[in-house]
Structure 1
Amino acid sequence: MRKPEFPSASPAGPRALPWWTRPSTLSLLFVLPMLLVVYWAGSSELGGLAVRTRNYLSTQHLVLCLGLVVFSAMGAALGEGLQQRTVLQSCDEHLVRAAVCLGVVVLAAYVFWYRSLILDPSVMLRILTGALKPERDEIGRVVGITSLVNCAAPFFSLAGYLVFVRKVRGGVLKALVVLLLLFTFFRAYIWSERLATAEALIPLVLALLLAMPRPTAEQPVRRLLYGLGPYAALPVVFLFFAVAEYFRSWTFYQDRMAFWEFALGRFVSYYYTALNNGAGMLATTEWPSWKFENVLNWLHAFPLGIGAWFAEAVGATTETGDLFLQRYGDPEFNSGSSFLGVTLDLGVGGAILYFALSAFCGGILYSRYRRGDTLALMLYPSVLVAIFESFRYCYWGTSRAFVWLLGAVVVLAALWAWGALGATRSSHDAARRFAS
């Protein structure tokens, strides 16, 4: 069998990416200012703001959140600056093979999950027109099988790199991207699951940025968007949110206020209430709880009886978050902020360590992503998802993040089993040798 040829390191060094794809600067220049904006907006008399519980969020809680962001940025900066001597790489042929296999698994999981809708066009039409909104369990959800749809995230990460950076022309791969995007958008529509859209688009956009040259002075609009990044995307995100809320909740509020007032208030409510819920849990329970309901939530939900055993082992017979929501909270806004949720699990010292270490790993993945490391190509986009979602909950603790990680590890294991994975000297070292 012919030995696979791995991509050689380029003396040009790692590829350039904008500031907002770097975990350290994204935390300091976007997450930190937006925390301040959300805190201010939630404390104002903004029309449409839906904070239906007691306001627990104090200046002390805000300072704690800001401090954790700073420690996170420091950890990420250390990881980003760590020298990467070797990276894991594979030839395009085997990467395409792995991506197609993963995409077929995800497509099969979606078809199995939506089989009752696919086989009944009348029901599908009612859903598309907004006349019917079935629950997940109503259409045949099976834990452990339908959960495989969350492997779409590592698929999009790998497929985006192959299509945009490596310029692969495989028709099957591109067809899978289109089909899975359609399933993802339908999933986001039917259950207002905006996170699924982010898990698809962020890997694709990141890969596109990796392939693009830095905009020049002769491209002012592109250069402005490239520099503003998430700030430029905020109006688009808000518009997407507003459209979703129009179909989801507007009918209950249309006789009380103007639509855009309602949409803006709901938008702020999602983030402010998450912070307020986290503060409320700290104010009404003893902490640290050491129940790991936020940092290891996926383990609590693990099938085969493992989740139940773990919950019993840590004494989590009743989840703190559910108990708080039943007594004081609003079930419609039920997330609890990553910053305060992790503090509830681990205490202030444990939260500092958690955010610093997780961001340190994220910084390493960022550095390796720019150099084309195979594992980082699949995993680094999840770091950006986790940072953007840190306002609402601890993404790394969710089951969907665990499936993302599991999918990436399975792909890496398959490449190793095929003899298609090798460690090559990083572009940084190649540049030094080239210069000398």
Structure 2
Amino acid sequence: MSTVRLPLREGAWWLHPAWTAMLATVPGLLAVWLIGDDSFREWWRTPKIFDDGKALIVMAFIGVFVMGCMLPSLARTVRATDVSVTVRQRRILLLAGRAAAALTLVGYAAWMASAVSSGLSFADLAEVFSLSPGSADAVKSDLATIGGVTTLTQLGPLAVVCLFLDRRLGGGRHTAMFAVLIGLTLARVVLNSERLALMELALPILAMVSTLRPGDGRRHYRWLWAALPLLAPFALVTLFGTFEYVRSWSHYSSIVQIDYSEFVLRRLTGYYATAYNNSAIVVDHVGPGLAWPYYTVGFLWNFPGLSAVLTPESVLGFDPAQVWPGLLRRLGNPEYNNTGGVLAPLADYGLVGGLVFWAAVGLAVGVCYRWMRSGEMRGLVLYPVLYVGLVDLVRYFYWGEGRAFPTLAGAVLLALLVHRRRAPGGTA
């Protein structure tokens, strides 16, 4: 059976889940640990709940996760220098990419139709893109989602993964589809204040570009990829500041007595520091050790059809989502409403259960990374979409969210399909 070989890139050490997890969680942990209660109240209008005990638990959770990620990398294996892809695998990838892209467009079309029927007009859109104060909030109220339909927009990351791989394999360039998906995502970021939607598209591309070298013989600068994390803080601040200008500066510019650069830095730090702080509120006032997992399996509680039968009230005796706004008003700041991701298993399973949970998740993610670095197609399909959850571990447990379910479920199914079509004597 004829195959195509893609060379693997060297140098991107930070792509390993253990390194990514530490780079994503430690800076925020240091911020919430070192910033005092007075600054919390002044900068983010919330008391500091996070204490040394919670910090030690966070470090323990990060530690067992990192150890779980490292275990698969310790196994003896022949390090692959390329990925071998069969004709059948290429066909499956292309078909899956086109199907995911088409369903994504259907989801966006349904979402826009729903918004128009709710009163959204071109004049409203023009006000948002002209940076008119308060226009973004007004438009956001019209963008109501349709359960099970607008969720299709979440297949966009899977479409990008498949079409990017097909492009690297010498198939179509898919330039028009990439442009449409990126354009719709940027509009979503501005209109619906969903920066996460941009991360869901950009991070899988970053993971694949950092793993696969172009097959055209271009020179590979290993040192450049190794140094890429040095640029990450500047990229994060720039992107955050760009979209925050539309999202909140029009409101705060007349209230705060600081310039925009300081405002951006305080607000960006606040998203991560208050996420840790909010997770402490969740653990102290909702968990730990709920009768049934809630924060790590959020997709189950909102799954179409199942959510009508399996309700938090019937299983837990209360709905944490209904309790949370009141807790925020009393102990936090409703403007910073992320419940946190690292301590989510503590609320669901208790301390011992949380340690076991993070070790198991780390092992699973580490296995997917090893598959990718070993030149297996299933790893190239799975790890780039898992990478989104790694980067945003602090703010919430992304892998358990309803928005992540379509992409992750599709990636698992696709990984099974492409793995079964192995080249004789080789890897998928």
Question: Could you state the TM-score of these two structures normalised by the residue count of structure 1?
Answer: 0.83
Residue in 2 that maps onto 1:400: 403
CA contact (8 A) 1:198 1:385 kept: yes
Alignment map for 1:67-82 (pairs within 5 Å): 67-82=60-75
Q: Which fold has the larger relative contact order, with Cα–Cα distance below 8 Å and residues 6 or more apart in sequence?
A: 1
Deviations 1:180-220 (A, max 9, x none): 0100111111122111111101111222122238xxxx99x
Q: Quote the offset at 1:308 in angstroms.
A: 4.8
CA RMSD, 1 decimal: 3.3
CA distance in 1, matches of 2:41, 2:284: 26
Q: Distance in 2 between matches of 1:391 and 1:49?
A: 22
Q: Secondary structure at the match of 2:304?
A: coil
| Residue of structure 1 equivalent to 2:242 | 243
Gap regions ≥5 residues in structure 2:
none
Contact 1:245 1:263 in 2 (8 A): yes
Asked whether the equivalents of residues 84 and 423 of structure 2 are also in contact (C-alpha less than 8 Å), the reply is yes
Aligned to 2:16: 22
Report how far residue 67 of structure 1 moved.
1.3
Structure 1 residues 352, 114: CA separation in 2 closer, same or farther (over 3 Å shift)? Answer: same
How far did residue 264 of structure 1 move? 0.6
Q: Within 5 A, what are the aligned runs for 1:357-368? A: 357-368=360-371
Contact in 2 for aligned 1:47/1:261 (Cα 8 Å): no
Residues 421-436 of structure 1 mapped to structure 2, 5 A cutoff: 421-424=420-423
Partner residue in 2 for 1:152: 156
What is aligned with 1:334?
337
Any idea what SS the aligned residue of 2:147 has? coil
> For residue 57 of structure 1, what is the aligned residue in structure 2?
50
Unaligned segments of structure 1, at least 5 residues: 431-436
1:91: Cα distance to partner?
A: 3.2
SS in structure 1 of the partner of residue 422 of structure 2? strand
User: Structure 1 residues 316, 396: CA separation in 2 closer, same or farther (over 3 Å shift)?
Assistant: farther
**Partner of residue 32, structure 2:** 39
Q: 2:222 and 2:68 mapped to 1: Cα distance?
A: 29
Q: CA deviation at 1:324?
A: 2.5
Bigger Cα displacement from structure 2, 249-258 vs 131-140: 131-140
Q: Aligned AA for 1:186? A: A
Closer, same or farther: CA 181–48 of 1 in aligned 2, 3 Å: farther
**Cα drift, residue 270 of structure 1:** 0.4
Aligned pairs, number:
409
Residue identity over aligned pairs, in percent, reads 23
Task: State the match for 1:191 in structure 2.
Answer: 192
How does 1:87-236 map onto structure 2 within 5 Å? Answer: 90-115=88-113, 120-131=121-132, 132-133=135-136, 134=138, 138-139=142-143, 141-163=145-167, 165-168=168-171, 170-171=172-173, 173-212=174-213, 225-236=224-235
Asked if 2 retains the 8 angstrom alpha-carbon contact of 1:339 and 1:390, the reply is yes
The 8 Å contact of residues 79 and 359 in structure 1, kept in 2 or not, is answered as: no
Using the TM superposition, give the Cα deviation of residue 235 of structure 1 relative to its aligned residue in structure 2, in angstroms.
0.9
Query: Counterpart amino acid of 1:138?
Result: D
Alignment deviations for residues 17-47 of structure 1 (CA, whole Å, 9 cap, x no partner): 511110123234x235414432356338769
Higher mean C-alpha deviation, range 267-276 or range 140-149: 140-149
Report the TM-score, using the length of structure 2 for normalisation: 0.84
- Is contact 1:76-1:363 (8 Å) kept? yes
